[in-house]
């Protein structure tokens, strides 16, 4: 996207614990882990989140993985607000069932479209934050969405890796923009 960005924080959505790590719903955690590794950042536990800081193009950027479970992800937002970080300075990385598996897109604003993690964040800051949406596809049965997003990936490791690296490339582009 060509809109001017001044990114100060990136929130990766997921559910805490090893049980959920390789699930569609925790793609935000996977992406942030790879992104943090690229910058040599280390994660620390702070209250209800894991936090790391990177220096990208001379700018400090806070990385956050909420440890509250998806439906309460927005509880990390007051921490950012206390630091003066506004919604337009935030990127949220999340799974998107409305996109084909592996398709990664970026946008500013929009609705939650049924995503409880986004609903929680919107409750705290409104909808005008950046999103990196990682397509995980939709189950055939609409009633199976909860189980579908909480199951481990059934796609190949290479397909999951490509999606993660595509999302990381968008994050790198966003934080290196002047």
Let me know if 25 is a catalytic residue.
yes
- φ and ψ of 3, to 5 deg: -60, 145
- Active-site residue among 24, 25, 94, 131? 25
Task: Evaluate whether 77 touches 49 at the Cβ level (below 8 Å).
Answer: no
Write out 74-140 in H/E/C secondary structure: HHHHHHHHHCCCCHHHEEEEEEECCCCCCCEEEEECCCCCCCHHHHHHHHHHCCCCEEEEEECCCCC
* Residues annotated as catalytic (active site), given as ranges: 25
């Amino acid at each position: 996207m060509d809109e001017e960005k001044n990114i100060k924080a990136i929130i990766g959505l997921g559910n805490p614990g090893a049980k959920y790590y390789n699930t569609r719903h925790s793609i935000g955690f996977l992406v942030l882990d790879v992104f943090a590794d690229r910058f040599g950042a280390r994660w620390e536990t702070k209250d209800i989140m894991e936090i790391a800081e990177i220096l990208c193009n001379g700018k400090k950027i806070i990385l956050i993985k909420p440890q509250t479970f998806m439906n309460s992800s927005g509880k990390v937002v007051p921490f950012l607000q206390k630091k003066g970080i506004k919604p337009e300075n935030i990127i949220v990385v999340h799974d998107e069932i409305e996109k084909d598996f592996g398709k990664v897109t970026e946008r500013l604003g929009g609705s939650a479209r049924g995503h409880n993690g986004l609903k929680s964040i919107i409750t705290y800051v409104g909808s005008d934050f950046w999103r990196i949406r990682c397509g995980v596809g939709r189950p055939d049965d609409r009633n199976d969405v909860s189980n579908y997003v909480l199951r481990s990936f059934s796609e190949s490791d290479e397909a999951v890796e490509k999606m993660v690296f595509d999302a990381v490339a968008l994050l790198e582009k966003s934080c290196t923009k002047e």
